[in-house]
């Protein structure tokens, strides 16, 4: 096993952890996921004459890797440094995406397969970034890194979406592919500015005997780290945080569809749920850096979850008027940005120290967080379809408030436990 970045609980805190760099490290994946797959791809497919149903199916398929990436993300814990994995993954994702954009149609099976492979490479960027964040030793830097990480993801995703949509009217698909590849690959060079981290795995002697001893030592350490993170009583409430409905952000997908009930014009919908939403999300994520580090991440997250639910109560209980929609949407979009940043902070507290398996454990925990996004989108959408616009907000408010209140009461009654991982 080659050199890997990591840190143990006994290592001294790094003097220059540079938490701001994580806002750049996530940029390649933000461009790929938020900018293309979750943003411009549907537009590009429709522009090529693809049926809307077929286009929606392709987008849904390409979102699958973010749920199952824990299956291959452990590779970023081995052989080379995590920041090297990040640059390799970004370069591979860019090259594969470039090939996809040079196909005759983005809806062709070959193009879809290439984009899926690119998305799989992209998830190694998430795993590598998470593993590196887990090595930060100073709590305030962890909180700041979470804020920059989510802020950078939202900002670069919105920027990529705008660039792709605007240039799609002027450039051929192949040229757009070169621009897309550059936006994925170039930001990964920021990994060279990642904080210097210590190697924790070295060969235990030479030859086959040394290799076997190294594998045994590494495996023992990984088992210890997984046990320290997941197989302890304190892991149960953290797991419930990942799975409970608060802060899911599913209403982001529902808000545009509710606008007509509040008598909002198409242009206003596009603004508040497009550029406006991105700016509000980014502002909320960055505002989290102002929360004192002495406030535990789960407490801050769950409290923000209650605040976020209260903003949806404006849409639930208010009259169906434009100003109510604008007020509720603006407050919701700002607070959900803060929720995203605090979610990452909770993941890092659950993770503990990265050690040898930080990227693997981060990927598992982060994947759990996608579960409520899926089921709350279904619940909110179903309620809106059966009982109208207010019902979607009401269902989200009730479920989020109940879930956040139960867990907040628990964490307020407990002291922070030390994670031995």
Burial class from Cβ neighbours inside 10 Å (0-12, 13-18, 19+) for residue 26 reads buried
Please tell me the distance from the alpha carbon of residue 248 to that of residue 269, in angstroms, as a whole number. 21
**pTM to 2 decimal places:** 0.83
- pLDDT tens for residues 11-60? 444 457 788 899 999 999 999 988 898 778 888 898 888 887 888 789 88
pLDDT (0 to 100) of residue 11? 41
Could you tell me the residue ranges of all domains in the chain? 5-202, 214-412
User: 214-412 falls under which CATH superfamily?
Assistant: MFS general substrate transporter like domains (1.20.1250.20)
pLDDT (0 to 100) of residue 201? 53
pLDDT (0 to 100) of residue 212? 58
Q: In 247-274, which residue ranges form alpha helices assigned H by DSSP?
A: 251-258, 266-272
Please tell me the distance from the alpha carbon of residue 284 to that of residue 190, in angstroms, as a whole number. 24
Q: Which fold has domain 5-202?
A: Growth Hormone; Chain: A; (1.20.1250)
Contact 120, 65 (CB under 8 A): yes
How does DSSP classify residue 40?
A: I
- pLDDT tens for residues 107-142? 999 999 999 999 999 999 999 998 889 888 888 889
Residues in the chain with pLDDT values less than 70: 1-15, 195-219, 416-421
Q: Give the number of other Cβ atoms within 10 Å of residue 43's Cβ.
A: 14
Beta-sheet pairing, 198-199 with 5-6: antiparallel
Q: Convert 160-210 into a string of H (helix), E (strand) and C (coil).
A: HHHHHHHHHCCCCHHHHHHHHHHHHHHHHHHHHHCCCCEECCCCCCCHHHH
Same CATH topology for 5-202 and 214-412: the answer is yes
Q: Give the number of other Cβ atoms within 10 Å of residue 177's Cβ.
A: 20
Q: Convert 84-124 into a string of H (helix), E (strand) and C (coil).
A: HHHHHHHHHHHHHHHHHHCCCCCCCHHHHHHHHHHHHHHHH
Spatial neighbors of 163 by CB under 8 A, at least 6 apart, are 35, 179, 183
Helix, strand, or coil here: 15?
coil
């Amino acid at each position: 096993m080659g050199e890997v970045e990591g840190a143990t609980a006994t290592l001294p805190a790094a003097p220059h952890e540079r938490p701001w760099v994580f806002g750049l490290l996530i940029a390649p994946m933000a461009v790929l996921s938020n900018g293309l797959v979750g943003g411009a791809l549907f537009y590009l497919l429709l522009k090529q004459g693809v049926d809307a149903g077929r286009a929606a199916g392709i987008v849904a398929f390409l979102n699958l890797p973010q749920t199952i990436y824990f299956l291959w993300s452990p590779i970023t814990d081995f052989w080379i440094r995590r920041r090297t994995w990040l640059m390799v993954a970004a370069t591979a994702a860019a090259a594969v995406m470039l090939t996809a954009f040079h196909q005759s149609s983005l809806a062709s099976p070959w193009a879809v397969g290439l984009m899926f492979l690119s998305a799989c490479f992209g998830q190694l960027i998430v795993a590598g970034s998470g593993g590196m964040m887990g090595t930060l030793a100073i709590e305030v830097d962890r909180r700041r890194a979470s804020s920059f990480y989510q802020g950078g993801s939202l900002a670069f995703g919105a920027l990529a979406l705008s660039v792709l949509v605007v240039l799609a009217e002027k450039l051929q698909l192949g040229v757009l592919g070169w621009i897309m590849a550059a936006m994925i690959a170039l930001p990964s060079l920021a990994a060279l500015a990642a904080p210097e981290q210590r190697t924790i795995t070295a060969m235990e002697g030479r030859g086959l005997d040394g290799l076997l001893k190294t594998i045994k030592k590494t495996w023992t350490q990984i088992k210890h780290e997984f046990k320290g993170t997941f197989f302890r009583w304190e892991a149960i409430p953290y797991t419930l945080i990942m799975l409970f409905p608060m802060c899911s952000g599913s209403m982001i997908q529902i808000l545009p569809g509710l606008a007509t009930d509040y008598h909002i014009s198409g242009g206003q919908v596009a603004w508040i749920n497009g550029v406006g939403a991105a700016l509000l999300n980014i502002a909320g994520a960055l505002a989290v850096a102002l929360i004192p580090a002495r406030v535990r991440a789960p407490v801050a997250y769950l409290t923000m979850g209650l605040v976020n639910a209260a903003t949806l109560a404006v849409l639930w209980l208010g009259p169906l008027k434009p100003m109510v929609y604008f007020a509720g949407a603006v407050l919701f979009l700002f607070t959900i940005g803060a929720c995203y940043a605090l979610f990452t902070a909770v993941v890092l507290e659950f993770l503990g120290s990265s050690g040898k398996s930080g990227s693997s454990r981060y990927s598992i925990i982060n994947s759990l967080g996608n579960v409520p996004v899926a089921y709350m989108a279904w619940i909110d959408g179903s309620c809106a379809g059966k009982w109208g616009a207010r019902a979607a907000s009401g269902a989200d408010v009730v479920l989020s408030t109940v879930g956040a209140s139960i867990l907040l009461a628990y964490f307020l009654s407990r002291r922070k436990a030390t994670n031995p991982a």
